[in-house]
Structure 1
Amino acid sequence: MAVLEVEGLQTYYGRVRALHGITLHVDAGEIVALIGSNGAGKTTTLRTISGLIRPTEGTIVFNGRSLADVTAAARVGQGICQSPEGRRLFARMTVTDNLFMGAYARSDKAGIQKDLDRVYELFPRLKERATQIAGTLSGGEQQMLAIGRALMSKPKLLMLDEPSLGLAPIFIQTIFDIVLEINASGVPVLLVEQNANKALEIAHRAYVLETGNIVKTGTGGELLESEDIAKAYLGM
C-alpha cells in the first residue's frame, strides 16, 4: 500500500522549470532513494512534498489524502517529516532543546519523553552531549541531531536530504545503519543521497533524476548492477 503518491509534479523557480512531471511512490515499510547529479531536482522534490514549494501542476497524496491545500506546518502534523540538507539546527540551543523543537506540534508529554528516550537509544552520543550547544558538535554529531529532531515529530514518512554529505567514513556507515534501524521499526524513508552506492545498497527501490526528469527506476540491486548507472553515478 502506498504511503506517498506523487503524480505529474511540476515545479518552477521563477520562469525556470525545475521538475518536469515527476511521478513516484513510497510504499509502507520501504526505503526509496532518489539519486542524481547536483541540480537534478532531488532536493526540490522533497521540498515540494514538504509543502515548502508549491507545484504548478501535479498531485501529492499522503495516506490516501490529497495535500493540495495542506500547509507545510500541517504536513508535519500529518507525519511528513524532513531532515534537511545542511542540517539547519538551532546552533545556539542545546542538543536536548533542538530535539524538543522537533516535537513542537505535539502535546503528548509521555509520548514525547518516550521518543526522546528512543532517540538517545539510537544515538548514544547525543545523550552524552545532551547539554552541549548544537553549534559546537562535530559534523557527524550534528547530522545525528538533525535526524533525531525529525524523529521527534513522530514521522509516518521520514525524508532525509543528503544525510552523509561532508561526513567522515565512520560517521557515514553509522548514519546508514541508523536509517536501516529506523526503517525496520516501521517508518518508510524517502532518501536523497549523493553517495549513490550507499543509497542503493539499502534502498528497496530507487529513482534516477536528471534535469527534473525521472529517467530510470528499479530496485536498489537492479540499479547497482546497471552499467549506465555505474558509469554515471557510482564512479565506475
Structure 2
Amino acid sequence: MLEVEGVSVYYGRIRAIREMSFTVNEGEVVALIGANGAGKTTTMRTISGLLNCAGGKIKFAGEDITKMKAHLRVVQGISQAPEGRGIFPGMTVRENLDMGTFGRKDRSGVSKDLDRVFDLFPRLKEREKQLGGTMSGGEQQMLAIGRALMSSPKLLLLDEPSMGLAPQFIRQIFKIIREINNQGTTVLMVEQNANQALAGAHRAFVLETGQITHSGTGKELLANPSVKEAYLGVG
C-alpha cells in the first residue's frame, strides 16, 4: 500500500531523514520506534505531505505521490492523527469530527463513519456537544483518532497516540487501534511506548538519526537484545 523509497528530508541544512526505505502492506499495523529526534515525526509529516522530500519517492497504492499536496493525499486515502492531538479546542466534539470529512462527497458514508467512530469511542458520543478543549488528554486523543477516521482512510497515520496518557488510557487506545485494524484500516504508527507498539504491530522499524537500523516482526524486535536494551528497559 505504501512504499517509501530512498527518501531524504532536510530542515535547513540538517538532514533529518537519510535515504529511508520501507513498505507498509495492506491490512498491516506497522510501528516506527526510536528515541526523540530519531526522525519519526518527520517521517510521518513527509508521508502526509506536510514536509517535502529532498530526494527519493513515496508511492501510495502504486501511485507516485511524492509531490502531491497534503489535502489531496487525504482524498487519496491517507489520514493522520498528529503528535499532540491538534484538536480544535473551541469546537465541539461533533464539530471536530465534521472537520475530518473535508473533501468527502459521499454523505451517506459520512453518517456510517460517524456511527463507526461512536462505536469505537462511546465516550465521544456521550460528549458530542462538549468543547474539545475541556476534555481530558485521553479523550482528546480519542477525538484526534476519530477525526482522522472520518475521512475514511485506507492508511491511518498515528503519531505518538499514547503520549501523555494515563496507563488505563494507553491500554484502551492500543486496544482500539487493534480494532480499527481488524475492521480493515491499515495503520502506520509512531510510538515511544516501544513495548506496546511492538506487541501490537505486525512489523516494525527502529529509527536512529534518520535511518532505519533494525526491522522485523513486532515479536522479533521485542526479542532483539539491542532493541531490548535501548528501548525496552531490559539489559
Is the TM-score greater than 0.5? yes
Equivalent position of 1:35 in the other structure: 33
- C-alpha distance in 2 between matches for 1:222 and 1:68: 31
Answer whether contact 2:53 2:66 (CA < 8 A) is retained.
no
Equivalent position of 1:164 in the other structure: 162
Equivalent position of 2:217 in the other structure: 219
1:1-236 equivalent positions in 2, closer than 5 A: 3-236=1-234
Deviations 1:131-152 (A, max 9, x none): 0000000000000000000000
Shift in Å, 1:69: 2.8
- C-alpha distance in 2 between matches for 1:198 and 1:68: 31
Deviations 1:94-137 (A, max 9, x none): 00000000002112111101100110000000000000000000
Partner amino acid, structure 1, of 2:39: G
> What root-mean-square deviation, in Å, do the aligned CA atoms of Structure 1 and Structure 2 show?
0.5
Shift in Å, 1:218: 0.5
| Equivalent position SS for 1:21 | strand
- TM-score, with structure 2 as normaliser: 0.99
- TM-score, with structure 1 as normaliser: 0.98
Answer whether contact 2:120 2:176 (CA < 8 A) is retained.
yes
Write out the 4+ residue segments of structure 1 that deviate beyond 3 Å after TM superposition. none
- C-alpha distance in 2 between matches for 1:190 and 1:158: 6
Partner amino acid, structure 1, of 2:57: T
Q: Unpaired runs of 5+ in structure 1?
A: none
- C-alpha distance in 2 between matches for 1:111 and 1:202: 28
- C-alpha distance in 2 between matches for 1:113 and 1:16: 45
- C-alpha distance in 1 between matches for 2:34 and 2:26: 24
- C-alpha distance in 2 between matches for 1:15 and 1:227: 34
Deviations 1:19-75 (A, max 9, x none): 001101000110000000000000000000111000110000000000023100000
